Amino acid sequence: MDKPPRILIVPGWHDSGPGHWQSLWAAQLPGAERVVQDDWITPHRDAWVGRLEECIFSRPEPVVIAAHSLGCIATTQISARAAERVVGALLVAPADPERRAQLIDFSPVPAAPLPYRSVLVASSNDPFCPIRLAGAYARAWGSELVRLQNAGHVNVESGHGAWPLGLALLQSLTAGLAWSSTPADATALQA
């Protein structure tokens, strides 16, 4: 790999607020870039996936994705050409677009293996995606499954601010890659 990967932060429906782990990581991880959608309230698959692909192709470096909720589903729907640029993805608390009318444009959810390493983090009591469905996503996508007990939607409301475990999982995806973060950066973020 000629260039170190950059981190793309892919928020879900309604975006991630200032105390959310995605917002904290975007501000503190060197080279991290947040994918900003034009419409956070009424999401449309083509627009969201298109914006994500624009970000993937905007620079030559390979990409590691840190996605949350509907951002996970958008990540699985990028084109094969865009997926070639992805070297890893942390998919946290994926959404279930078939259970919410506002998200139906994102269904059906792809059921093919992802062409890059991925870690899917799911909670036993996520109100937006039952753990069984998250497990089915992980099996279909070929993702490593990390099951959290009673972690809600893994967001600020469920007590996940900087979320050191998530950062460690992200770093596991970049192990062996020429990533620009240093251990000091990770320590500062976990504090």
112-160 pLDDT, tens digit each: 999 999 999 999 999 999 999 999 999 999 999 999 999 999 999 999 9
CATH of the domain at 90: 3.40.50.1820
The pTM assigned to this predicted structure is 0.91
Please tell me the predicted confidence (pLDDT) of residue 178. 53
* Residue ranges making up the domain that contains 116: 6-186
| Ranges 37-41, 171-175, 180-184: which has the least confidence | 180-184
Among 10, 7, 6, 27, residue whose Cα is nearest residue 161: 27
Residue 166 lies in a domain: yes
Residue 33 lies in a domain: yes
Q: Tell me the per-residue pLDDT of 36-82, one tens digit each, with 9 for 90 and over.
A: 999 999 999 999 999 999 999 999 999 999 999 999 999 999 999 99
Residue 191 lies in a domain: no
Residue 11 lies in a domain: yes
Residue 22 has pLDDT above 80, yes or no: yes
Is residue 13 a contact partner of residue 67, using CB atoms and an 8 Å limit? no
Please tell me the predicted confidence (pLDDT) of residue 179. 38
Contacts of 80 (CB under 8 A, 6+ apart): 115
Residue 66 lies in a domain: yes
Residue 1 lies in a domain: no
Please tell me the predicted confidence (pLDDT) of residue 183. 36
Contacts of 175 (CB under 8 A, 6+ apart): none
**Span 156-166, average pLDDT:** 96
Residue 25 has pLDDT above 70, yes or no: yes
Residue 77 lies in a domain: yes
Residue 40 lies in a domain: yes
Domain count, the chain: 1
Range 61-70 burial, b when 16+ CB lie within 10 A, else e:
bbbbbbbbbb
